[in-house]
Amino acid sequence: MEWNERLQRIIDYVENHLQRKQEPIDQREISVMAGCSFDFFQKVFSYMNGIGFSEYVRFRKLTLAGYDLKSTDKRVVDISYQYGYDSPTSFTKAFQQFHGMTPKEARNGNVRLRVVPKMQIFEKQRYAWKLEQKPGFRLIGKSVWCADGQKYSKIPEFWSDCQNSGVFSRLISLGTGDPGGLFGLCRYGDSPAGEIEYSVMAAADGPLPEGYREIRIPEAAWAVFDCRGAVPQAIQSGWKFLQEEWLVRYPFEHADCPELEWYSIGNSYDKDYLSQIWIPVIDGHKEKNR
């Protein structure tokens, strides 16, 4: 059984014990499901998910406690013991730190409560990649600037804005690439803040529309990685894979050219939707043969 399958079983076990059985989570059972010691499991969980296992469980308890407070007449003392707190006082303190208000305020007021949803472990991606020499081409489109730490929220927002404003459909109609589709282009700026310029573009040969910009991509060799699944999750998972594994090991030098994302024409929410990451590389074998 692969790690992702084991982890999904453990997540389901946690939810079952918190919501249905309302029983404490047994570390020994988790160790058996993980196939390793509980301490080692916690280290792997934290590394893979960016959050500690105990913290995730605590966040889920307090999320569910918020649901109970707003949707039932259970007493605070009963809810506190239900989710494993030694006393209503310790529960109230944890609840306030998480939600920003006391249980009483949450129950009586028209307030927004914080939610940490159940973690979903997707089937492990299998990445196919190839080296491909491509001639130079011209991209046209729109750009936005964002801080590096905001890219996973700002870039999907920018795509949504392009769709709503008609930029998306305009670029599709102007595109002359074969195959068709749109590109995402990412470049780091020179500012101390390390801002990123991200562009949504299409390969096009015609006149440049007013308000649009163009970028010339030179002839280059590309390492092209297929990402299968709905976006933006599939493309974000692809970048994570590249940053954690391929980019630290690949035997090529990075060419002086922006990295690209390519999005095919089709239903971008489909589980089989194809997007790609293009990394410009200097092919050492090709250089030697010149």
Condensed to tens digits (0 to 9), the pLDDT of residues 162-184 reads 989 999 999 999 999 887 899 99
Summarised one tens digit per residue, pLDDT across range 34-88 is 888 898 888 888 877 888 999 999 999 998 898 888 777 889 999 999 998 999 9
SS3 content of the chain, % helix, strand, coil (to 5): 45, 20, 35
Q: Is the pLDDT of residue 288 over 60?
A: no
Predicted pLDDT of residue 287: 45
What whole-number percentage of the chain has pLDDT above 90?
Answer: 39
Predicted pLDDT of residue 109: 65
Beta-carbon count within 10 A of 119 CB: 17
Helices (H), ranges, 1-124: 3-15, 27-34, 38-49, 53-71, 76-82, 88-99, 103-108
Instruction: Band the pLDDT of 250: cuts 50, 70, 90.
Output: low
- Segment 254-264 mean pLDDT: 91
Q: Is the pLDDT of residue 123 over 50?
A: no
Name which of 273, 195, 267 is nearest 238 in CA terms. Answer: 273
> What are the φ/ψ torsions at residue 264 (nearest 5 degrees)?
-75, 165
Please report the domains of the chain, with CATH numbers, ordered by start residue: 3-108 (1.10.10.60), 129-288 (3.20.80.10)
3-state SS assignment for residue 215: strand
The DSSP symbol for 244 reads I
Q: For residue 282, which amino acid is it?
A: I
Note the residue count of the chain: 290
Helices (H), ranges, 16-52: 27-34, 38-49
Q: Is the pTM of this model over 0.75?
A: no
Under 8 Å between Cβ of 264 and 273? yes
Name which of 256, 145, 150, 257 is nearest 191 in CA terms. Answer: 145
- HEC string of 101-121 equals CCHHHHHHCCCCCCCCCCCCC
Beta-carbon count within 10 A of 69 CB: 21
Q: Is the pLDDT of residue 125 over 70?
A: no
